[in-house]
Amino acid sequence: MNIIEIHGLTKDYALGETTVHALRGIDLTIAKGDLVCIMGPSGCGKTTLLNVIGGIDSATTGSVRIGGQELTTLPDREITDLRLHRLGFIFQTFNLIPVLTATENVEFPLLLQKEHSKSEIRARAEKLLEEVGLSEYRHHRPSELSGGQRQRIAIARALVTNPDIVLADEPTANLDSVTGASILEIMQTMNQRQQTTFLFSTHDKNVLKYARTVVHIKDGLIDGE
Amino acid sequence: MGILLRISLRNLLRQKRRNLLLGAAIAIGMAILVMANAFSHGISDVLFNRILKYVSGNISVSFTQNGNRMNQLFRDGDRMKELIRKTVPEISSVNEAIGIFSRVIGNARTDNAILVGMDLKSETDPKRLADLKENFRLIEGSYDNLARKDLENPVLLSDEKAKSLNTHMLDVLRVRFQDVNGQNQAARVTVAGIFKPANVFMNTPVFLDIGNLKQLAGYGPNDIGQLYIMIPNPKKNAIPGANALHVALKPPLASAFGHLEFKGRSATATALGFRVDSASLAGLMKLLPGFFADYRLMSNDVLVGKALADSLGLHAGDRCSLSYPPKSGGENVTATFTVTKVLPASTNFPPNVIWVNDRAFYTFYYDHWPSPPQSENGAFLPDSTSSLHPFLCREWILMNRSHTTEEMQRDLKLLPQLKSHAVAVGVPTMYESASMIINLEYALNLITLGAVLILFFIIQVGVVNTLRMTIRERTREIGTMRAMGMQKNHVRNMFLLESFFLTLFSCFVGILLAFAGMWLLSKIQIHSEGNHWDMLLVNGHLHFKPSVLGTALFMPLILAIAAITAWFPSRTAANLPPSEALGHFG
The one-letter code for the residue type at A60 is T
| Residue B158 resides in a domain | yes
Of A73-77, B221-225, B310-314, B415-419, which range is least confident? Answer: B415-419
| Residue B421 resides in a domain | no
The end-to-end CA distance of chain A, in Å, is 18
How confident is the model at residue B135, as a pLDDT?
Answer: 65
Alpha helices by DSSP H, B295-356: 306-312
DSSP H or E stretch at residue B467: helix B435-473
How confident is the model at residue B230, as a pLDDT?
Answer: 85
Q: Does B11 touch chain A (CB under 8 A)?
A: yes
**Are B480 and A51 a contacting pair at CB < 8 A?**
no
Q: Is B66 left (phi over 0), alpha (psi -120 to 50) or beta?
A: left
CATH of the domain at A49: 3.40.50.300
Q: For chain B, what is the domain count? A: 3
Residue A37 pLDDT exceeds 50: yes
| Residue B506 resides in a domain | yes
DSSP H or E stretch at residue B494: helix B488-523
The one-letter code for the residue type at B453 is L
Nearest by Cα to A171 from A163, A160, A159, A161: A159
Report the Cα B163 to chain-centroid distance in Å. 32
The domain boundary residue, chosen from B193, B214, B248: B248
Collect all residues of chain A within an 8 Å Cβ-Cβ radius of residue B16: none
Nearest by Cα to B574 from B467, B501, B502: B467
**CA atoms A120, A123, A129, A130: torsion sign:** negative
How confident is the model at residue A211, as a pLDDT?
Answer: 92
Task: Give me the phi and psi of A183, to 5 degrees please.
Answer: -65, -45
> Residues B206-228: what's their mean pLDDT?
89
How confident is the model at residue A33, as a pLDDT?
Answer: 93
Residue B32 pLDDT exceeds 80: yes
Collect all residues of chain A within an 8 Å Cβ-Cβ radius of residue B4: none
Q: Which residue has the higher pLDDT, A39 or B135?
A: A39
Same domain for B95 and B121, yes or no, is yes
Same domain for B461 and B570, yes or no, is yes
Residue B44 pLDDT exceeds 90: no
Q: How far is A55 from chain B (nearest CA, A)?
A: 8
Percentage of chain B with pLDDT > 70? Answer: 92
- CB contact at 8 A, B284 and B357: no
CA distance B229 to B88: 9
Rounded alpha-carbon distances, angstroms, from residue A44 to A29, B203, B484, B522:
19, 93, 25, 74
Same domain for B259 and B244, yes or no, is no
* pLDDT bucket at B57, cuts 50 / 70 / 90: confident
Count of CB atoms within 10 A of residue B586's CB? 11
CA distance A120 to A117: 5
- CB contact at 8 A, B153 and B189: yes
Residue B531 pLDDT exceeds 70: no
- CB contact at 8 A, B109 and B164: yes
Residue B436 pLDDT exceeds 60: yes
**Are A56 and B11 a contacting pair at CB < 8 A?**
no
Task: Give me the phi and psi of B516, to 5 degrees please.
Answer: -65, -45
The one-letter code for the residue type at A42 is S
Collect all residues of chain B within an 8 Å Cβ-Cβ radius of residue A111: 3
> Residues B359-380: what's their mean pLDDT?
86
Nearest CA in chain B to A83: B485
CA distance B440 to B446: 10
CA distance B295 to B285: 9
Same domain for B46 and B69, yes or no, is no
> Residues B165-172: what's their mean pLDDT?
93
Same domain for B221 and B90, yes or no, is yes
**How many CA atoms does the CB half-sphere of B232 hold within 13 Å?**
5
Residue B586 pLDDT exceeds 50: no
Nearest by Cα to B265 from B317, B304, B308, B324: B308
Collect all residues of chain B within an 8 Å Cβ-Cβ radius of residue A83: 483-485
The domain boundary residue, chosen from B210, B225, B248: B248
Q: Does B314 touch chain A (CB under 8 A)?
A: no
**Average pLDDT across chain B, whole number:** 86
Q: How far is A90 from chain B (nearest CA, A)?
A: 10
Residue A154 pLDDT exceeds 90: yes
Angle CA A52–B583–B11, to nearest 5: 115
CA distance B132 to B143: 10
Count of CB atoms within 10 A of residue B314's CB? 23
Burial class (CB in 10 A: 0-12, 13-18, 19+), B457: exposed
Residue A70 pLDDT exceeds 70: yes
Nearest by Cα to A164 from A4, A39, A42, A9: A4
| Residue B404 resides in a domain | no
> Residues A164-190: what's their mean pLDDT?
87
Same domain for B216 and B80, yes or no, is yes
> Residues A161-182: what's their mean pLDDT?
88
pLDDT one-digit tens code per residue, A77-131: 999 999 999 999 999 888 999 999 999 999 999 999 999 999 999 999 999 999 8
The one-letter code for the residue type at B26 is I
Collect all residues of chain A within an 8 Å Cβ-Cβ radius of residue B488: 76-77, 80
The domain boundary residue, chosen from B226, B248, B270: B248
Q: Does B477 touch chain A (CB under 8 A)?
A: yes
How confident is the model at residue B53, as a pLDDT?
Answer: 65
Task: Give me the phi and psi of B337, to 5 degrees please.
Answer: -135, 150
Same domain for B390 and B469, yes or no, is no
Residue B55 pLDDT exceeds 70: no
Tell me the count of A-B CB pairs closer than 8 A. 71
Q: How far is B487 from chain A (nearest CA, A)?
A: 6
Nearest by Cα to B135 from B199, B189, B90: B199
- CB contact at 8 A, B319 and B337: yes
**Are B477 and A98 a contacting pair at CB < 8 A?**
yes
Beta strands in B198-349 (DSSP E): 205-209, 226-230, 255-262, 265-274, 302-305, 319-324, 333-338, 341-343
Task: Give me the phi and psi of B249, to 5 degrees please.
Answer: -90, 10
**Are B11 and A99 a contacting pair at CB < 8 A?**
yes
Coil, strand, or helix at residue A207? helix
CA distance B126 to B134: 12
Beta strands in B18-84 (DSSP E): 59-65, 68-72
Mind spelling out the 3-state secondary structure of B307-324? Answer: HHHHHHCCCCCCEEEEEE
Q: Which residue has the higher pLDDT, B136 or B20?
A: B20
CA distance B243 to B156: 36
How confident is the model at residue B358, as a pLDDT?
Answer: 93
| Residue A13 resides in a domain | no
CA distance B341 to B301: 7
Q: Does B1 touch chain A (CB under 8 A)?
A: no
The one-letter code for the residue type at A179 is T
- Domain that includes residue B513, residue range: 3-51+435-582
Nearest CA in chain B to A57: B579
pLDDT one-digit tens code per residue, B447-502: 877 877 787 788 778 888 888 888 889 999 999 999 999 999 999 999 999 999 99
Nearest by Cα to A189 from A142, A138, A146, A133: A133
Same domain for B276 and B355, yes or no, is yes
* pLDDT bucket at A34, cuts 50 / 70 / 90: very high
Coil, strand, or helix at residue A103? helix
- Domain that includes residue A46, residue range: 34-57+75-224
Q: For chain A, what is the domain count? A: 1
**Average pLDDT across chain A, whole number:** 91
| Residue A159 resides in a domain | yes
Same domain for B88 and B222, yes or no, is yes
| Residue B372 resides in a domain | yes
Coil, strand, or helix at residue B396? coil
CA distance A2 to A90: 22
Nearest CA in chain A to B9: A99
Nearest CA in chain B to A104: B3
Q: Is this prediction's ipTM beyond 0.90?
A: yes
How confident is the model at residue B47, as a pLDDT?
Answer: 72
Same domain for B372 and B493, yes or no, is no
Q: Which residue has the higher pLDDT, B411 or B537?
A: B411
**Are B577 and A57 a contacting pair at CB < 8 A?**
yes
Q: Which of B10, B474, B480 to mutate to test the interface with A (most CBs of A within 10 A)?
A: B480
Residue B25 pLDDT exceeds 80: yes
The one-letter code for the residue type at A94 is F
Q: How far is B534 from chain A (nearest CA, A)?
A: 56
Range picked from B33-42, B346-355, B438-447, B521-530 for highest mean pLDDT: B33-42
Q: How far is A223 from chain B (nearest CA, A)?
A: 25
pLDDT one-digit tens code per residue, B329-352: 889 999 999 999 888 877 677 878
**CA atoms A124, A126, A132, A138: torsion sign:** positive
CA distance B519 to B542: 10
Same domain for B167 and B84, yes or no, is yes
DSSP character at residue B429: B
How confident is the model at residue B584, as a pLDDT?
Answer: 53
- CB contact at 8 A, B572 and B553: no
Same domain for B465 and B535, yes or no, is yes
